[in-house]
Structure 1
Amino acid sequence: MKTSLVTTKGQVTIPASVRNQLGIHQGDRVGFVYENGKVIILPVIKDIEAAFGLVSASQSASLDDIEQAIQSRGGKL
């Protein structure tokens, strides 16, 4: 069992081996569940907004290009 010291502010350091097993990194959020006398630490699943900016496009389009593409489809999506 890995252990950690509780600070005066109630903070603990999650041991590196546990962080690695959970796949959590600096800045990630974790959740705590109290169940049957035990505390379970879970990584918080990031929502879609957290992924904003992670993917870049291979090409860009101007507003005119987008409008032309819409018109060429008869205004239907």
Structure 2
Amino acid sequence: MNVSKVGRRGQIAIPRLIRQELNLQEGDRLAFVRRGDEVVLQPLRKNLSDFRGSVPVSEPQDFDAIRQEVLDRRAYRSAPDGD
């Protein structure tokens, strides 16, 4: 079993064997996934731009309009009832 201690500022060191097995390098990102009483560390190998083009669209997209619609929906959901 590999063990690590939580430091003063909440930092942990990932044991060398685990880093090697997962091919983790300095600057790599990890997700902390909660599964009941456990936490699983999952390397994040891709970012959002890696998925560009993975969803087919039939026409050009107006991203400014999409962003505005998302903001409007969030504002509507967070507004007090009756406003």
TM range (shorter): 0.5 to 0.7
Determine whether 1:18 maps to 2:55: no
What corresponds to 2:79 in structure 1? none
Counterpart CA distance in 2 for 1:48 and 1:37 is: 29
Counterpart CA distance in 2 for 1:43 and 1:34 is: 14
- 1:38-57 equivalences under 5 Å are 38-47=38-47
- Unpaired runs of 5+ residues, structure 2, are 51-83
Greater helix proportion: 2
Which runs of 4 or more aligned residues in structure 1 lie more than 4 Å from their structure 2 counterparts after TM superposition?
A: none
CA RMSD of aligned residues (A): 1.8
Counterpart CA distance in 1 for 2:33 and 2:5 is: 19
Given that 1:33 and 1:39 are in contact with CA atoms closer than 8 Å, whether structure 2 keeps it comes out as yes
Aligned residues: 50
